[in-house]
């Protein structure tokens, strides 16, 4: 049998795995490829979660797209078409819209699972071919608040400024709004090793998750109050004498303003806001400050808020004030969610960025990238709007009227999802390229079936900033093309026959040149080097550079080399409970499903483990409402109504309910969520909104 070393298609760990093909003539009933462990890859050391182990199931032609589909104008249904007809219809839809309304009426919406090569070429396609400012991606919904705070504090944004293996050596870790036991199980071993080594794990989460059950200390704040908690901890660090005055003086700036803001958040006030007792806060600060090395790691629970950037900034403040940054074994990091959420934004999918994490408003950056692309810098459009703003304006005067979606399913994943569905339906033209017929694809005028992780080669950048190589192991079915082929075909039909290669290595070589000298510098990284080294950490500015596994050890990436404190203050969530909507709703993931579930919902083993949506509520709330286990409930917010069966557990706060967001239809959690945006990152407030809970009406059906 032949085994190809590659990586999992799902989360940002990008776990190493092998794909084993049977010998020729193996006979019927033998799968074309099976997933096997790859112990040599350092991130997961062979461990795989259920999603990774079953990833090959989506390669089955029976569960995925294998031919282009176009909307039949006579019947309104999607019918099979040739590639020439499908690509010509997409090109015509984009061109006719630009002619009628101007290029800004066209747009692109990308995905955090696309390889670096695809993300790079998608951004180039929007700006060079369509000449539109309107490109963003679903990674905006992932870690944009952490990215904004990271850049403000340290001058550069990389999810983790150190390898994941460093977690196990820390004396203390504060894990804020993260549940890796369910979202990225292979990472959990590092927290287990941390505790085995004598370290202390503090988990901040309103729910007693599987991760929180393993913690030494569990802080359970009211949803939407993580900012207040971080400020209260900094107040205690000041009051109880836990500051590292030498580090503050030598390597930071702005502490006095941050301290003044924190001192307005005295412990008793913070306890009243968060529900976290003062003694627990004081113990957490002591553990963190006294540890020789310590980290704060955040995830979506802290970041998906209308004040997410300030919240992450406040947690970074705690690291800086106690000297737990810019030193081996210490620092702030973000647990990136999507498979290429890091690389996806580094190379041009975000509305305001060019390849190499360059700013679209920087004249020097525009000149550099334009030279690589062979265009006049003046022809590059300026920044567009963020992901939700783009979706919210679809089909409206001044909004995008023809949209190309690549590898994303906003009908399920976007906040206020019923409204987003209406806006997608209001488009003059919608094209979707995807592996499966997602809910968004089913709404499209043209659907383009594209190859997936095991069928094509390309790079991704994992949560550590390690650039890795997914290798093709099998040939895609007849009728399927790569995203690079799609962009090449569309560009040629729209009058740009050159500059859109179909070979991923050729695209990566151009990406290297475009990123050279930028904050995310890939110039020294190559396919052969990635193969030889099991990945290379950026920045890596030249071929003999060793790469940078650990950032900030000598200086931070700011002009003066100092980290910057954030002077932030607590403010309420955009929507607080009231008499009509008396409960907090928070959302998240379950182990067996991933993101909008477009792929994992097609895997029988995963569906058996997590067959559908549910509402998690506390026994006291269930008793008050007269609800029994499994009873169908209606959850209502100001944006809509969702149905799901009750799951009664004391792991949730009595004032809070929880729903996972993987399912469409009546159980779609994002029907309820609030699109209120963080003013800096434009992150929607997925993690908290006000709802009411009641028994479903007689005759309503369980989703």
Of 405, 410, 436, nearest in space to 421 by CA: 410
In this prediction, the residues of the chain whose per-residue pLDDT falls under 50 are none
Element (H, E) at 319: helix 308-321
Angle at the Cα of 429 from the Cα atoms of 72 and 384, rounded to 5 degrees: 160
Topology at the third CATH level for domain 3-63: N-terminal domain of TfIIb (2.20.25)
Contacts of 507 (CB under 8 A, 6+ apart): 117, 120, 121, 484, 501
Angle at the Cα of 586 from the Cα atoms of 582 and 589, rounded to 5 degrees: 155
Asked if residues 213 and 78 have their Cβ atoms less than 8 Å apart, the reply is no
Q: What are the tens digits of pLDDT across the range 670-696?
A: 999 999 999 999 999 999 999 999 999
The answer for 224, left when phi > 0, alpha when psi is -120 to 50, beta otherwise, is left
Q: Residue 46 burial (CB < 10 Å; 0-12/13-18/19+)?
A: middle
Q: Return the structure tokens found at 271.
A: 């306890």
Cα 661 from Cα 671, distance rounded (Å): 10
Give the architecture-level CATH label for domain 69-141+349-520: 3-Layer(aba) Sandwich (3.40)
Give the architecture-level CATH label for domain 145-334: 3-Layer(aba) Sandwich (3.40)
- What is the number of alpha carbons within 13 Å of residue 146 lying toward its C-beta? 30
Topology at the third CATH level for domain 583-695: Barwin-like endoglucanases (2.40.40)
Contacts of 150 (CB under 8 A, 6+ apart): 156, 157, 158, 312, 316, 332, 334
Cα 39 from Cα 3, distance rounded (Å): 13
Q: How far apart are the first and last CA of the chain?
A: 43
Cα 183 from Cα 181, distance rounded (Å): 6
How high is the pLDDT of residue 28? 59
Angle at the Cα of 433 from the Cα atoms of 431 and 439, rounded to 5 degrees: 75
Asked if residues 598 and 412 have their Cβ atoms less than 8 Å apart, the reply is yes
Residue showing tokens 């794909």:
19
**CA torsion sign, 647 to 653 to 654 to 655?**
negative
pTM above 0.85, yes or no: yes
Q: Residue 326 burial (CB < 10 Å; 0-12/13-18/19+)?
A: buried
Strands ordered across the beta sheet of 294-298 = 217-219, 200-204, 172-176, 294-298, 331-334
Q: Return the structure tokens found at 365.
A: 């950056």
Of 23, 49, 39, nearest in space to 605 by CA: 49
Q: For the chain, what is the radius of gyration of the CA atoms? A: 24
Cα 107 from Cα 242, distance rounded (Å): 50
CB atoms < 10 A from the CB of 614, how many?
20
Q: Where are the domains of the chain?
A: 3-63, 69-141+349-520, 145-334, 583-695
Contacts of 24 (CB under 8 A, 6+ apart): none
How high is the pLDDT of residue 27? 61
φ, ψ of residue 598 to 5 degrees: the values are -55, -35
- What is the number of alpha carbons within 13 Å of residue 279 lying toward its C-beta? 0
Three-state DSSP state, 219 = strand
């Amino acid at each position: 049998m032949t085994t190809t070393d590659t990586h999992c298609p799902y989360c940002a760990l990008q776990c190493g795995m092998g794909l084993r093909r049977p010998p020729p003539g193996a006979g019927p009933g033998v799968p074309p490829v099976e997933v096997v462990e790859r112990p040599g890859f350092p991130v997961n050391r062979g461990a795989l979660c259920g999603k990774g182990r079953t990833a090959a199931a989506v390669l089955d032609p029976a569960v995925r797209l294998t031919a282009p589909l176009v909307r039949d104008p006579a019947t309104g249904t999607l019918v099979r078409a040739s590639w020439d007809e499908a690509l010509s219809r997409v090109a015509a839809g984009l061109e006719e819209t630009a002619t009628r309304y101007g290029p800004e009426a066209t747009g692109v919406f990308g995905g955090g699972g696309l390889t670096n090569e695809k993300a790079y070429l998608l951004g180039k396609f929007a700006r060079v071919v369509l000449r539109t400012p309107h490109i963003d991606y679903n990674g905006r919904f992932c870690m944009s608040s952490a990215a904004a705070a990271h850049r403000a504090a340290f001058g550069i944004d990389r999810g983790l400024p150190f390898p994941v293996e460093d977690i196990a050596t820390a004396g203390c870790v504060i894990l804020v709004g993260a549940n890796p036991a369910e979202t990225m199980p292979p990472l959990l071993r590092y927290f287990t090793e941390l505790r085995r080594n004598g370290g202390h794990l503090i988990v901040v989460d309103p729910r007693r998750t599987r991760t929180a059950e393993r913690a030494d200390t569990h802080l359970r704040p009211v949803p939407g109050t993580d900012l207040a908690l971080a400020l209260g901890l900094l107040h205690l660090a000041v009051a109880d004498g836990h500051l590292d005055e030498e580090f503050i003086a030598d390597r930071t700036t702005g502490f006095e303003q941050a301290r003044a803001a924190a001192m307005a958040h005295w412990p008793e006030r913070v306890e009243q806001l968060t529900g976290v007792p003062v003694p627990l806060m004081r113990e957490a600060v002591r553990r963190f400050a006294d540890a020789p090395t310590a980290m704060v790691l955040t995830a979506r629970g802290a970041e998906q808020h209308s004040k997410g950037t300030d919240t992450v900034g406040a947690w970074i403040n705690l690291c800086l004030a106690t000297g737990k940054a810019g030193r081996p074994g210490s620092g702030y990091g973000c647990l990136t969610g999507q498979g290429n959420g890091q690389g996806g934004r580094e190379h041009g999918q975000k509305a305001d960025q060019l390849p190499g994490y360059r700013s679209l408003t920087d004249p020097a950056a525009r000149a550099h990238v334009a030279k690589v692309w062979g265009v006049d810098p003046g022809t590059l459009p300026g920044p567009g709007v963020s992901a939700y703003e783009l979706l919210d304006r679809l089909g409206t005067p001044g909004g995008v009227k023809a949209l190309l979606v690549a590898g994303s399913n906003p009908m399920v994943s976007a906040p206020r999802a019923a409204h987003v569905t209406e806006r997608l339906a209001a488009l003059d033209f919608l094209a979707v390229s995807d592996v499966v017929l997602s809910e968004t694809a089913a709404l499209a005028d043209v659907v383009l079936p594209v190859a997936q992780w095991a069928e094509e080669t390309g790079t991704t950048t994992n949560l550590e900033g390690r650039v890795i190589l997914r290798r093709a192991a099998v040939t895609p079915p007849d009728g399927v093309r790569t995203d690079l082929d799609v962009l090449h075909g569309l560009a040629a039909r729209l009058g740009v026959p050159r500059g859109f290669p179909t070979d991923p290595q050729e695209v990566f070589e151009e990406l290297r040149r475009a990123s050279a000298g930028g904050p995310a510098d890939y110039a020294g990284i190559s396919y052969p080097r990635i193969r030889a080294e099991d990945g290379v950490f950026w920045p890596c500015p030249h071929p003999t550079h060793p790469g940078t596994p650990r950032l900030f050890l000598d200086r931070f990436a700011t002009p003066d080399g100092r980290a910057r404190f954030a002077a932030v203050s607590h403010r309420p969530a955009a929507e607080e409970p009231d008499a009509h909507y008396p409960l907090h709703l928070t959302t998240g993931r379950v182990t067996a499903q991933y993101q909008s579930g477009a792929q994992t919902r097609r895997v029988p083993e995963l569906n058996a483990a997590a067959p559908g949506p549910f509402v998690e509520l506390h026994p006291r709330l269930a008793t008050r409402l007269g609800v029994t286990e499994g009873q169908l409930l209606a959850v209502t917010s100001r944006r809509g109504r969702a149905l799901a069966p009750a799951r009664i557990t004391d792991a949730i706060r009595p004032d809070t309910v929880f729903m996972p967001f993987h399912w469409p239809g009546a159980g779609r959690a994002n029907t309820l969520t609030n699109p209120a945006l963080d003013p800096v990152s434009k992150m929607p407030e997925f993690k908290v909104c006000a709802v009411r809970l009641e028994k479903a009406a007689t005759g309503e059906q369980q989703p």
